């Protein structure tokens, strides 16, 4: 063991565990003579499992993609050179890590760790203020809901604070139904006390009597860590104010996307089917069991302790007009460094995708912001600042923070079909426009990608989209057409190629594609023949495209890259 090492940190949030972090931790604990601390996600999910060796002089050495082998562990405890990892300098210069500052730095369920790093200082300060002063501080900060709607948080708190009722409810929406979005999960796994501190501050400011955390059951580690943190709050009586004692309840949801909408969430919280209802009355007037109820998402509550600690004005000094503070994004898709990133509001897409995400400028076509209900923004518009109003002007949304980079080899018609496949299935079925309209849009996209589309189909998509948005009760239906409308706006040529020329330039839609085997590259290894599930490749190494299902398994196993997708009919 190198004597310079003080202790180790290893990421054992979901991303770290999925990459083998638990096994690495076990081996490191067995081999190490210094403490090994399990921590949350530091955002660099592409590099997991990550081990940080914290040295006696206060510096650190990071190791990435660590394997659970004696050689890898020995290399780390001796501070060897193999697998050393440095955060790219350009990322450090573009990020502003505030909400995630303690993620990956503290033991998530160690109460003392959180306290030593400023934990509950925001609550302590709030308790020296009048409730209305706390609400005003959040208004000064300009914090807007990070769950997608972007409603001013301070205003919502003020609505609940003004109500007189026997019970008032504060709910943390931790459903996080967007595929590819994992900001809320990471916060609950990595800094559960920070989320709960924000909720306690909200309860004091609004006079709430009960707190709920609505979390999807697919997040077992988040639920485990939040449960541990709640027990510690009870132990230290942080849930006890002068006039009331707060009950904190975790409600495990079944993972319905529509329950991200607040009235559908309330229905599920009450044990009913998750469906939205007409508003008014708004939840702050009549919510859970008829009591005034306020709902914010995980990231929103995670910002609140920072606002109280540094002051609303200081918080508002970061960001743009109308979009204050930082925002956490989950980067995925065609880029080098997928994971979590936290940047000031107003950071451009260029900076996020290329400087931070490490995407290759020559191969990027677009970015999808806001999850499956967001809009695709072409690379030509990547100088757009990422804030609520700028994205909305392009037909996109901030959403909860999902951001998927789309490469040149992706078909935008297929991309829209892919997202509609998700959203139409997630419709609760209550609204006719959402239930039927999204299905019709999906069917049209299916026809177009299958080579059966018509000019009338394009007109129908443009007609249906705005009507579905206008005729739906909740955010699911109101945003589901966005991927189609945005791709029609910016990539209409691709739709027209599919319909008029029966061609998919990206060679992604199977109806317009054949597979070809380049004989001069083939080494006759027969891996393609053995792999093909339908026997479409003969002993002469020629592909029968009448039999071929375009599953691409042959191309995937070919060691020489001799099998390619080509335009249908290509010789």
pLDDT tens string, the chain, 571 residues long: the values are 898 999 999 999 999 999 999 999 999 999 999 999 999 999 999 999 999 999 999 999 999 999 999 999 999 999 999 999 998 888 889 999 999 999 999 999 999 999 999 999 999 999 999 999 999 999 999 999 998 778 999 999 999 999 999 999 999 999 887 777 889 999 999 999 999 999 999 999 999 999 999 999 999 999 999 999 999 999 999 999 988 899 999 999 887 888 888 999 999 999 999 999 998 999 999 999 999 999 999 999 999 999 999 999 999 999 999 999 999 999 999 999 999 999 999 999 999 999 999 999 999 999 999 888 888 999 999 999 999 999 989 888 888 788 999 999 999 999 999 999 999 999 999 999 999 999 999 999 999 999 999 999 999 999 999 999 999 998 889 999 999 999 999 999 999 999 999 999 999 999 999 999 999 999 999 999 999 999 999 999 999 999 999 999 999 999 999 999 999 987 6
User: DSSP state, 282?
Assistant: P
| DSSP state string for 4-59 | TEEEEEEE-SHHHHHTTHHHHHHHHHHH-SS-EEEE---S-GGG-S-EEEEETTS-
Peptide bond into 265 cis (omega under 30): no
Q: Which CATH number among 3.40.190.10, 3.40.50.11540, 3.30.565.10, 3.30.1440.10 corresponds to the domain 111-315?
A: 3.40.50.11540
Kindly state the tokens that stand for 168.
């008032």
Distances (CA, A) of 97 to 3, 318, 341: 31, 12, 8
Q: What is the pLDDT of residue 571?
A: 63
CA 112/CA 220 separation, integer angstroms: 23
Residue 504: closest CA among 496, 493, 512: 512
Report how far apart the first and last C-alpha atoms of the chain are (Å, whole number): 63
Domain 323-407 has CATH 3.30.70.270: no
Same fold, 111-315 and 412-501: no
User: Residue 323 corresponds to which tokens in the numbers above?
Assistant: 């979009």
List b or e across 171-186, with b for residues whose CB sees 16 or more CB atoms inside 10 angstroms.
bbbbbbbbebbbbbbb
How many other C-beta atoms lie within 10 A of the C-beta of residue 334? 21
Q: How far apart (Å, rounded) are the C-alpha atoms in residues 279 and 388? A: 23
Whether a cis peptide bond, with omega within 30° of 0, leads into 49 is yes
Percentage helix, strand, coil for the chain under 3-state DSSP, each rounded to 5 = 45, 20, 40
152 three-class SS? strand
Q: Is residue 43 a contact partner of residue 104, using CB atoms and an 8 Å limit? A: yes
Is residue 90 within 8 A of residue 351, CB to CB? The reply is no
Give the burial class of 80: count Cβ atoms within 10 A of its Cβ; 0-12 exposed, 13-18 middle, 19 or more buried.
middle
* Burial label, 376 (beta-carbon count in 10 A; 0-12, 13-18, 19+): buried
Q: How many CB atoms lie within 10 A of CB 2?
A: 13
Tokens of 484: 């189609």
Give the Cα separation of 135 and 115 in Å (integer): 24
Overall residue count recorded for the chain in this entry: 571
Rounded CA separation 58/44 (Å): 21
Residues near 257 by Cβ (< 8 Å), separated by ≥ 6?
177, 178, 422, 423, 426, 476
User: Structure tokens of 411?
Assistant: 């078909």
Residue 30: exposure state from Cβ atoms within 10 A (0-12, 13-18, ≥19): exposed
Cα–Cα separations (whole angstroms), residue 96 to 100, 327, 356, 392: 9, 9, 12, 23
Cβ–Cβ < 8 Å for 198, 120: no
Place of tokens 């042959």: 554
CATH of domain 412-501: 1.20.1440.230
d(CA 287, CA 279): 11
Domain topology for 510-567: Alpha-Beta Plaits (3.30.70)
Specify the CATH number of the domain 5-87: 3.40.30.10
266, 403, 417, 530 from 183: Cα distances, Å: 22, 11, 25, 42
Q: Where does residue 218 rank: exposed (0-12), middle (13-18), buried (19+ CB within 10 A)?
A: middle
Whose tokens are 């994971």? That residue is 339
Q: What are phi and psi for residue 253, nearest 5 degrees?
A: -90, 165
Where are the strands (E) in 334-467, listed by range?
A: 339-344, 364-369, 375-378, 402-407
d(CA 414, CA 479): 18
**Can you give the residue ranges of every domain in the chain?**
5-87, 111-315, 323-407, 412-501, 510-567
């Amino acid at each position: 063991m190198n004597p310079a090492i003080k202790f180790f940190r290893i990421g054992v949030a979901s991303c770290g565990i999925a990459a083998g972090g638990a096994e690495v931790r076990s081996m490191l604990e067995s081999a190490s003579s210094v403490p090994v601390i399990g921590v949350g996600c530091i955002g660099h999910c592409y590099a997991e499992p990550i081990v940080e060796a914290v040295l006696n002089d206060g510096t650190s050495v990071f190791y990435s993609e660590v394997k659970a082998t004696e050689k890898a562990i020995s290399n780390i405890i001796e501070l060897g050179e193999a697998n050393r990892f440095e955060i790219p300098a350009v990322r450090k210069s573009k990020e502003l890590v505030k909400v995630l500052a303690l993620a990956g730095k503290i033991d998530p369920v160690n109460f003392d760790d959180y306290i030593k790093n400023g934990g509950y200082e925001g609550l302590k300060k709030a308790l020296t203020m009048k409730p209305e002063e706390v609400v005003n501080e959040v208004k000064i900060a300009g914090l807007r809901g990070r769950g997608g709607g972007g409603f001013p948080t301070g205003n919502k708190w003020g609505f609940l604070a003004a109500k007189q009722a026997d019970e008032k409810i504060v709910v943390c929406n931790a459903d996080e139904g967007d595929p590819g979005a994992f900001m809320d999960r990471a916060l609950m796994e990595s800094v559960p006390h920070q989320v709960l501190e924000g909720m306690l501050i909200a309860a004091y400011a609004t006079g709430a009597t009960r707190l709920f955390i609505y979390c999807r059951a697919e997040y077992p580690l988040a639920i485990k860590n939040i449960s541990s943190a709640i027990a510690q709050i009870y132990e230290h009586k942080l849930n006890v104010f002068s006039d009331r004692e707060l009950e904190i309840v975790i409600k495990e949801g079944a993972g319905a996307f529509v329950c991200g909408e607040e009235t559908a969430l309330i229905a599920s919280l009450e044990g009913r089917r998750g469906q939205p209802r007409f508003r008014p009355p708004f939840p702050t007037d009549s919510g859970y069991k008829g009591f005034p109820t306020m709902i914010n998402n995980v990231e929103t509550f995670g910002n609140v302790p920072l606002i109280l600690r540094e002051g609303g004005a200081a918080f508002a000094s970061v960001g743009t007009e109308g979009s204050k503070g930082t925002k956490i994004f989950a980067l995925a898709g065609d880029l080098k460094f997928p994971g979590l990133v936290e940047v000031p509001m107003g950071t451009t897409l260029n900076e996020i995708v290329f400087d931070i995400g490490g995407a290759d400028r020559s191969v990027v076509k677009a970015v999808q912001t806001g999850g499956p209900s967001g809009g695709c923004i072409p690379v030509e518009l990547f100088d757009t600042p990422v804030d609520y109003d700028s994205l909305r002007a392009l037909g996109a949304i901030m959403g909860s923070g999902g951001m998927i980079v789309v490469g040149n080899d992706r078909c935008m018609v297929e991309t829209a079909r892919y997202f509609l496949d998700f959203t139409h299935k997630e419709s609760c079925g209550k609204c006719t426009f959402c239930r039927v309209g999204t299905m019709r849009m999906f069917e049209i996209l299916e026809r177009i990608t299958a080579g059966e589309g018509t000019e009338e189909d394009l007109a129908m998509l443009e007609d249906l989209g705005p009507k579905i948005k206008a005729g739906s009760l909740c955010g699911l239906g109101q945003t589901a057409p966005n991927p189609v409308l945005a791709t029609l706006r910016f990539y209409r040529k691709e739709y027209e190629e599919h319909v008029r020329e029966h061609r998919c330039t990206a060679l992604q839609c199977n109806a317009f594609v054949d597979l070809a085997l380049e004989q001069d590259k083939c080494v006759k290894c027969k891996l393609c023949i053995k792999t093909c599930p339908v026997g479409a490749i003969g002993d002469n190494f020629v592909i029968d495209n009448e039999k071929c299902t375009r599953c691409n398994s042959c191309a995937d196993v070919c060691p020489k890259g001799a099998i390619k997708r080509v335009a249908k009919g290509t010789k």
